[in-house]
Amino acid sequence: MEIQNSKIKMQNCNPKLKILLRVLFIYLTLNFLFSTFNLEKAEASALSLSIDPSIIEINAIPPSDTTNSLTIKNNSDNQVMLQIQLKPFKVKGGNAEPEYLSLEDFPILKNIQILDNKVPVEDITLGPSQEKKLTLSINLPEEINQIDYYFSIIFVSQNTSIPLSTSSLNQLGIASNILLSVGKKEIPSAILEEFSSDIFHEKGPVPFTIRLKNKGDHFIKPKGQIIIKNMFGQSIGRLDLPSVNILSGSTRVIPSALWKEDFLLGQYTATLSISLSDDGPIITKSIRFFSFPFGTAMMITAIAILLVIIGKKVEYWYNNRLN
């Protein structure tokens, strides 16, 4: 009888023991995962770098030797060991995001060096909060193709594979993009692929979409503005557009094209003028859009109707009282 009772007790304890073991297993697993995640996060945040300038524009006529300075700084409290890589790129999409290419497509890299105190280097070590000034040296032989060359100087932690895109680079290191234009400057050639806005706006602000394609062999840095006129032909607004680099053969969306006017009423004309260089040529285009504050008008109408109804009620009550 006692043996049977002990068996019953063991059977009753087994489910509780199993539940306890499962809870303990889940706790240990989650604790391990969280610890690993926090460790990876701490290691990633330990790498904090800044570089100046982030973009270097070079115009050169071969044969020539050019040098440009750049400064990299370790913003963390830890020593970092960085490898230096040169990586050619092309741009994709309207936001000009670099996409890295194979070194085989860029033989000019053999003529490019990174110097530290006039000594070629492929890696550097930076102490906590230390900055280092480096020199980009480029030798252009006479027989080089006179086109544009775009590449990045990439600084990443040693024993880290070189990223394939800027999105992964942002987590692993930092880069300075080089726009090298070889040969005499040509007359810029570009196509305005789009200048548009919604034809109707109930209220502001009014965004504009501007897409410009560079048809030339060299990168351009156009300057532009948008003039806004009302239905009476009066200029009531002006947008100075940011000057951005548009690489050879690429299309770029011009950012920050936003007219920050809240109250709009009637017909408006927006005229875009873009100068492809200091000497032109200039591209212009005009579009029209309309605005009427339907929401405000409906609210005013509703309030007016409500006031009329209240007035009628008051008048009716007053007349009945007199009678």
Rounded average pLDDT over 173-200: 93
Rounded average pLDDT over 275-302: 85
pLDDT, position 175:
93
State the fold for domain 49-182: Immunoglobulin-like (2.60.40)
190-293 CATH: 2.60.40.3880
129's enclosing H/E stretch is none
Listed range (4-18, 40-54, 124-138) with the worst mean pLDDT:
4-18
| Phi/psi of residue 247, nearest 5 degrees | -75, 160
Rounded average pLDDT over 6-31: 55
Tokens of 82: 């960085």
- How far is it, in rounded angstroms, from Cα 213 to Cα 96? 11
Written as one letter, the residue type at 89 is F
- SS3 percent helix, strand, coil of the chain, rounded to 5, is 30, 45, 30
* Closest by Cα among 143, 218, 232 to 180: 218
- How far is it, in rounded angstroms, from Cα 69 to Cα 56? 9
- Model confidence at 238: pLDDT above 60: yes
- How far is it, in rounded angstroms, from Cα 202 to Cα 186? 45
Contacts made by residues 4-12, CB under 8 angstroms, sequence distance 24+: none
Helix/strand/coil for 35 = helix
pLDDT, position 23:
55
Rounded average pLDDT over 71-97: 87
Q: Could you give the percent of the chain with pLDDT greater than 90? A: 55
* Closest by Cα among 160, 148, 158, 154 to 136: 154
- Model confidence at 295: pLDDT above 50: yes
pLDDT, position 99:
84
Better-scored residue on pLDDT, 4 or 128: 128
| Parts of the chain belonging to CATH 2.60.40.3880 | 190-293
200-201 and 251-253 strand pairing: unpaired
pLDDT classification of 166: cutoffs 50, 70, 90: low
- How far is it, in rounded angstroms, from Cα 166 to Cα 93? 13
| Parts of the chain belonging to CATH 2.60.40.10 | 49-182
User: Phi-psi region for residue 159, left (φ > 0), alpha (ψ -120 to 50) or beta?
Assistant: left
Helix/strand/coil for 223 = strand
Helix/strand/coil for 196 = strand
Q: Please provide the distance, in angstroms rounded to a whole number, between the alpha carbons at the two ends of the chain.
A: 103
Q: Longest Cα pair distance anywhere in the chain, in angstroms?
A: 109
Can you give the pTM of this predicted structure? 0.73
- How far is it, in rounded angstroms, from Cα 58 to Cα 108? 15
pLDDT, position 7:
46
- Model confidence at 88: pLDDT above 90: yes
pLDDT classification of 306: cutoffs 50, 70, 90: confident
Structural contact between residues 272 and 286, judged by C-beta atoms closer than 8 angstroms: yes
Mean pLDDT for all residues in the chain: 82
Tokens of 128: 């906590």
- Model confidence at 109: pLDDT above 90: no
- The residues that bridge with 273 in the sheet, in sequence order, are 225, 284
Rounded average pLDDT over 197-217: 93
Q: Computed from CA positions of residues 155, 158, 162, 163, in that sequence, does the dihedral angle turn out positive or negative?
A: negative
pLDDT classification of 43: cutoffs 50, 70, 90: very low
Cα torsion 167, 171, 172, 175 to 10°: value is: 60
pLDDT, position 186:
87
